[in-house]
Structure 1
Amino acid sequence: MATSYPTDTAALPRNVQATPATLAKACLGAAVAAGGVLTLFVLPAEYGIDPTGIGARLGISGMAVLEEEDDTAPAVTGPTSALATPTRASIERATPWREDELTLDLAPHSGAEIKAHMVKGDSFVFSWRSTGGAVKVDMHGEPVNAADDEFTSYWKERQSEAGQGDFTATFDGTHGWYWRNKGDTPVKVTVKVAGFYKDLFKP
C-alpha cells in the first residue's frame, strides 16, 4: 500500500519562534525553581543552612556535615580522661598506713599548728572542725631544713569552721595547718587524718 503525503504545504506545522519576552519568562521561571531547590533542599542538606525550616521537617538538615564529622571523628573504644591510668607504681605506698586525731585549744587571739612528716608522694585524707567559733586557717608545707620564712601555702581561709579533703605531698618535709582564733572566746579545733605519713604532731 502506497503512502500518501500531503501536498498542501499550508497544512504543515510552521516553526514557532520564541519572542524575547517568552525567553525571559522561561529563564526567570527556571531561576526561581533552581533557587527554590537550593533554598529548600541543597542548603539544609549540604551546609546545615535551613532558612525556611523545611529541611528540619524533612530530616535532611546537616546531613552532609554529619556524614563528614562521622568520617573524620576518631574512633573511641573506651572512656577517655586527661588523667593518667593508675598503675601499681602510682598506687602503691612504702609509708605505712596510720590514723590520728589531735585537738588544739586556742585562747582568744592565739594560734597553733598541727603538721605531718611526709616524703614526696605520701598522701592522706583529712577533716577538721572548730567549736566555739570560726578560725583563720592556712594549710601549708615546708621542705626539709627550710628557712624561717620558707613555706608553700595550699589553702587559706580568713574565717572558717571546718575543712576536709585529700592531700599528696609534692616534696619531702612537713605539711599541715595553722589555725588562729581571732575572736574573744576560746575555740577548740579537732583534726582527723588518715593515710600514708610518718606522724602527726604539734610543733
Structure 2
Amino acid sequence: MTPPIVSTKTLLKSTIVATIIALIVLVVFILPAEYNIDPTHIGHRLGLTALAHHDDEAESKADIIVNAKQGQQVIEVTVPAGKGIEYKFQMAQYEKMTYEWITDGEPLYFDLHGEPQGDTTGYFESYAIATLSAMKGSFTSPFAGSHGWYWKNNSDKPVAIQLIVEGQYEVIGLK
C-alpha cells in the first residue's frame, strides 16, 4: 500500500488553517489565563482572567540592589493586582531608617507599622496610613521588632514599587 500523496496546495491550506486556529486559541484562551491580557474580553466572560492572578502572591518579586552609596539599598517589589504584600525590617529600639518609595504610577493603600519582638498577641502599631504613589521620610523604631510596610493594590494591574532605605536595620523581606 502506498501512502497518499498530498499536494503542496493542500499542505499550504492546512498550515494556514492550523496557524489561524493557534492564534485564536492564543488570543482567546492562553493570554487571558496566563497573562491577564484579554483584548477580546471573552477570557473575562469565561472566567479565565481570574486564573492569571492565582499565583500572584507567590510570584511577588522583591529584588535588592545595593547602591554604590554606603549602606543604601534599593529594593524593588511588585504588588499583584487586587492583592497586598508586606515588606519588613528587623530593628532594635531607637534604631533609625530613612526611606523613600515610589510606585510606577498607581497609588497604593499602605500602612507603615511595627510589631514588637516576641509579641504573640497580634499587637501592632501603625505610624502612617494613607493611599499614595510615593512617600519619603525617616523613622525611629519605638521598640525592638519588625517594622515596615503593608501595601494593598486595589487596581487591576500589578504595581511596581522602588523602595530606597538607609539606616540601622536587618532586612526581613516579604512576609
Pick the TM interval, shorter chain: 0.5 to 0.7
One-letter code aligned to 2:140: T
Pick the aligned partner of 2:132 from 155, 160, 172: 160
Partners of 2:105 and 2:133 within 8 A in 1: no
Match of 2:98 in 1: 125
Q: Residue 106 and residue 148 in structure 1: after superposition, are their counterparts in 2 closer, same or farther (change >3 A)?
A: farther
Q: State the shift of 1:113 in Å.
A: 1.2
Unaligned runs of 5+ in 2: 1-69
Greater percentage in strand:
2
Match of 2:82 in 1: 109
Paired positions, count? 106
Cα distance in 2 for partners of 1:190, 1:117 equals: 19
Partners of 1:98 and 1:197 within 8 A in 2: no
Q: State the shift of 1:198 in Å.
A: 2.5
The question of 1:181 aligning with 2:153 is answered: yes
Match of 2:120 in 1: 147
SS for the counterpart of 1:120 is coil
The question of 1:195 aligning with 2:167 is answered: yes
TM-score normalised per structure 2 = 0.57
Greater percentage in helix:
1
Structure number with larger C-alpha Rg: 1
Q: Residue 200 and residue 129 in structure 1: after superposition, are their counterparts in 2 closer, same or farther (change >3 A)?
A: farther
Q: State the shift of 1:196 in Å.
A: 1.3
Q: State the shift of 1:200 in Å.
A: 5.0
Unaligned runs of 5+ in 1: 1-96
Q: State the shift of 1:149 in Å.
A: 2.8
Cα distance in 2 for partners of 1:144, 1:110 equals: 26
Q: Residue 199 and residue 106 in structure 1: after superposition, are their counterparts in 2 closer, same or farther (change >3 A)?
A: closer
Cα distance in 2 for partners of 1:102, 1:202 equals: 11
SS for the counterpart of 1:98 is coil
Partners of 2:108 and 2:152 within 8 A in 1: yes
Partners of 2:100 and 2:164 within 8 A in 1: yes
The question of 1:99 aligning with 2:72 is answered: yes
Q: State the shift of 1:199 in Å.
A: 2.7
Cα distance in 1 for partners of 2:121, 2:79 equals: 23
SS for the counterpart of 1:165 is strand
Identity of aligned residues (%): 30
CA displacement, residues 102-152 of structure 1 (integer Å, 9 cap, x when unaligned)? 122112110111111000011010000111411000000000122363100
CA RMSD of aligned residues (A): 1.6
Partners of 1:130 and 1:188 within 8 A in 2: yes
